[in-house]
A and B are shown apart, each in its own frame.
Chain A
Amino acid sequence: MAATVWMCVPGVALSVAPGTPMEDRMPQSLAPHVLFGRWEKLPHPPCAHRYPNTLEFQERGLYVGRSDPPGTFTLWDAGTFELVDPRHIRLSTANDALVTYDVSWQHDRLTFVDADGCVFAYRKMT
């Protein structure tokens, strides 16, 4: 089994397959249109359980998160999102607090880091 390589970029940890060209290891610039659509959470550490299994970013700045089974609490259930800059996204959360997260985008993977340092990623659903 090929080993996973963890590389660190400011605020973000990304796992990449060995042999990946260096240019592909760098996060791409995140723009709002990249976010639009449905995303599914990738295998994640326990600290990321409170984030939804699927996430849908809509064009008018709204998002909906869903967790399984239905009725499971998720910190990102519904609300607004705003890309503060290419590395930071602000979402309204389950108790209506606006929270800013580190975010990066590489290929079809969107990686978040929360204030506790929990790193988790979503993959664009086709």
Chain B
Amino acid sequence: MNAPRADLIPNPQLPVPPLPQPLPEVPIPQPQPFPQPGLEPLQPFPVPFPWPPLKFRSVRCGCYLLNYKPTGSPLVTYDGTLRVECHGSGRTASGDLYQRPLIWLPWKPEFPPISTSPLLLPGPNPGAGIPILSRGRYRYYLRVTQILEYFTIGTSFTLGFEMWRFTKSAGAWSTGGTWTNEGSFTASMSWQAAPTGYPSSSDYLAGDVKNSSSTVVGRLTMGWLSPYLRKATVEIDRVSQSESPLNSGAGVDWKAIGDGIGWDITVDQSDSNLTEPSGESWSDAECHAAMLARRDASNLDTEWRYHVLCVRRLDSTTRGIMYDAYGGDSNNVPREGCAIASHWTIPTSAEWGLVKGLRFGIATSPYFRTAVHEAGHAMGLYHNTADNGFMNTTNVIADNSLSPGSAAFPNNVQWSYHADDAKRLRHMPDIYVRPGGTPFGTSYATTPISPTDMETSLEGLSLTVTPVLATVPLGAPIRLNLELTNTIEAPLPAPATLSMKSGFVRGHVTDPAGTVRTFSPIVLCVEDHPMVRLKPRQGVRNSMTLLRGSQGALCPMPGVYRVQVEVHWDQGGVEVVTTGSADVMVSSASDEAHAQAALKVLSTPDTLLTLVVGGDHLADGIEAIHTALKNPVLRPHYAYIEAKRLGERFGTRKANLKAVADLLDEDVVMSPAEIRRAAELAKRDAGDGAAKKAIAKKLKHKAAGLKGDEDVKAVVESIQ
């Protein structure tokens, strides 16, 4: 979703002129009737002239009941929610789909025979508000990439989205699952009168869904339900000596915190007489057992209920813990509850400011903050030290109060989530944030989330991605040439290097089945992020070699892969991204020996580390590369990798230029960056002149075929 400029948001003060009613009434978006600190409703749009009359429509902020019916599958239908967040840059939206269950009507012998075909159960009742659907029926996350950002004078808009299928791992919920992108889709959504039961007759849309080949694959409907995006209950149980963490003491309570992220949070202040099982301090297991025994409701398929237990002390920590993870999760249902300790004594050192020496339970503000923090872990969030918000740790916030100009702790607490965490709570998949979903510690990096409008592209910069070889054999790394070019007649800022180690470059590979695997640097030179101003037509070049990513081998099977490379950098607080892509064909194994060698390199994680860091210490990686070198199909693709390793000294082993020269034969596959690197290795070594000459000769031959890499040729020519 491209971000319109915030300074072009219409002036909300002018009156809205009377408009005709060519379609069922759709109001100009109004400020929401509910207080929603986190949702900025679109203000009435001023029409600068009264004629011709126009009707403006926009997508109302809040939660929609979503239904998707695939074409040709009458017994398959999905229900769920679409969350539309309104903010200064337009709309960010995301959705989740759950497959509706079927039933088979029972047949009794005394009644006439009935059809044995199953029946679809009815969908959620829109009059009941935001639906809570069964985790076991969870199927898809909708990563919305296009939506009407502000308004239209038409009667429809295009909704663009990716459908990410969730496949739960076998066994309990604590085993997690995997995500697969099933492709990009569009739907031309038209406003229609809502069916009976919806709270707003005019905020209902429907449209056919098309795949990337423009074939209709289903139908989507969305009807507005609530100004909130999600809803949940927080149940608080406590021992009699502990306080209930209900608010900050300065007007911030659970409801306000929920409003800040578009969650409709209800507090259930329940038991106040829990019995201490073994003294004042509770183990994780005792916390978990108390939650199971004392919570008011336990069906997480009908309610998102987070349990907060307040006790005097905790065995595992001082202030609070989200115990429902790892070994503390005795029923293998993740993230159901957390606990806080009211009788921890706050230290008396300076960073604890206004509350030093107090018992934690009577330090109302930090005590409540800790409950919110632990509940944040129960919602799947990790720590975030980027600000003093809810997911930072109390110690870090207290320590930050010692910075010049800071308010004393706890007055320096920021009573909100960091923007990234707020976005996660609004738009991460249901199954990630809801209690009993994916386990705590599921990576943000491998979980889909809708893009934010704040990421922008810089007009005039073009990233070209070209494979060194368009076809590679199974098991070979993919070598890509990258060129970032300024295509306009004015200088533009850009990263000075496209090296993976710079941290600017990352991306993903989509396999023939649509599975996406990401890649990013495994070694970062984080201190050095130089930027340059590219002159008109000037470019920055580099090459990259891809083998594995955080989800394993990037190209584990034959077929056509699309590699998308992203160059990201921060420019004045805005993340700028330029992308380019290339297709690469991975051919099948030519024989059994090739298949075995490919299996070895693809299944050995240290192959990548050996490629990146070299050295003699990664025995598994070196063994895998040696296996590849013994195979005539893979040898040309790994020869340089081994040559680079042997060309650099390691410990007491000296660089072996003779071995390098032997490896760099006529067939070796090298990117321009690798040719330069090999030349630099040879230049650097003062010994073995004969080997150096042989390397120079081979590299000159290789470099002769390069187009435009004059710097590489110059380095090769300079080998003495």
As a 0/1 sequence over residues 1 to 24 of chain A, the CB contacts with chain B under 8 angstroms (1 = contact) are 110100000000000010000000
Distance between Cα atoms of A78 and B521 in the complex (Å): 22
Whether B116 sits at the interface, judged by CB under 8 Å, is no
Asked if A60 and B651 sit within 8 Å, CB to CB, the answer is no
Asked if B445 and A97 sit within 8 Å, CB to CB, the answer is no
Whether B617 sits at the interface, judged by CB under 8 Å, is yes
Contacts A62-B396, A72-B444; is A95 near B618 (CB within 8 Å)?
A: no
Across the A-B interface, how many residue pairs have beta carbons closer than 8 Å?
Answer: 99
Residue among A17, A43, A50, A92 making CB contact with B606, cutoff 8 Å: A43
Whether A106 sits at the interface, judged by CB under 8 Å, is no
Asked if A95 and B617 sit within 8 Å, CB to CB, the answer is no
As a 0/1 sequence over residues 386 to 402 of chain B, the CB contacts with chain A under 8 angstroms (1 = contact) are 00000011011001000
A1 contacts across to B, CB distance below 8 A: 616, 619, 622, 653
**Count of chain A residues with Cβ under 8 Å from any Cβ of B?**
30
Distance between Cα atoms of A50 and B521 in the complex (Å): 17
A78 contacts across to B, CB distance below 8 A: 383-385, 392-393, 396
Asked if A46 and B383 sit within 8 Å, CB to CB, the answer is no
A62 contacts across to B, CB distance below 8 A: 395-396, 399
Whether A86 sits at the interface, judged by CB under 8 Å, is no
Distance between Cα atoms of A53 and B521 in the complex (Å): 11
Asked if B382 and A43 sit within 8 Å, CB to CB, the answer is no
Distance between Cα atoms of A68 and B521 in the complex (Å): 7
Asked if B506 and A69 sit within 8 Å, CB to CB, the answer is yes
Asked if B443 and A97 sit within 8 Å, CB to CB, the answer is no
Residue among B320, B374, B393 making CB contact with A79, cutoff 8 Å: B393
Asked if A96 and B320 sit within 8 Å, CB to CB, the answer is yes
| Identity of the chain A residue whose Cβ is nearest the Cβ of B373 in the assembled complex | A96
- From 580 to 632 in chain B, residues with beta carbon under 8 angstroms from any chain A beta carbon are 605-606, 609, 613, 616-619, 622
- From 333 to 387 in chain B, residues with beta carbon under 8 angstroms from any chain A beta carbon are 351, 373-374, 377, 382-385
Distance between Cα atoms of A72 and B617 in the complex (Å): 26
Whether A98 sits at the interface, judged by CB under 8 Å, is yes
Asked if B617 and A43 sit within 8 Å, CB to CB, the answer is yes
- From 54 to 107 in chain A, residues with beta carbon under 8 angstroms from any chain B beta carbon are 54, 60-62, 64, 68-73, 75, 77-80, 92, 94-98
User: Interface stretch among B21-29, B36-44, B321-329?
Assistant: B321-329
Whether B434 sits at the interface, judged by CB under 8 Å, is no
Report which residue of A50, A64, A73, A98 has the largest number of chain B beta carbons within 10 angstroms of its beta carbon.
A73
Asked if B322 and A95 sit within 8 Å, CB to CB, the answer is yes
Whether B518 sits at the interface, judged by CB under 8 Å, is yes
Distance between Cα atoms of A94 and B322 in the complex (Å): 9
Whether B462 sits at the interface, judged by CB under 8 Å, is no
| Identity of the chain B residue whose Cβ is nearest the Cβ of A77 in the assembled complex | B383
Nearest CB on B from A14, distance (A) = 14
A69 contacts across to B, CB distance below 8 A: 445, 506, 518, 520, 550
Nearest CB on A from B505, distance (A) = 11
| Identity of the chain A residue whose Cβ is nearest the Cβ of B605 in the assembled complex | A46
Asked if B441 and A80 sit within 8 Å, CB to CB, the answer is no
* 24 A-B pairs (CB sep. < 8 Å): A1-B653, A2-B652, A4-B617, A43-B606, A43-B613, A46-B605, A54-B526, A61-B395, A62-B396, A64-B385, A69-B550, A70-B445, A73-B441, A73-B442, A78-B383, A78-B384, A79-B383, A92-B393, A92-B395, A94-B440, A95-B323, A96-B317, A97-B316, A98-B318
The 8 closest A-B pairs by CB, nearest first: A71-B444, A69-B520, A71-B445, A78-B383, A97-B316, A77-B383, A95-B322, A73-B441
Q: Which residues of A contact B (CB under 8 A)?
A: 1-2, 4, 17, 43, 46, 50, 53-54, 60-62, 64, 68-73, 75, 77-80, 92, 94-98
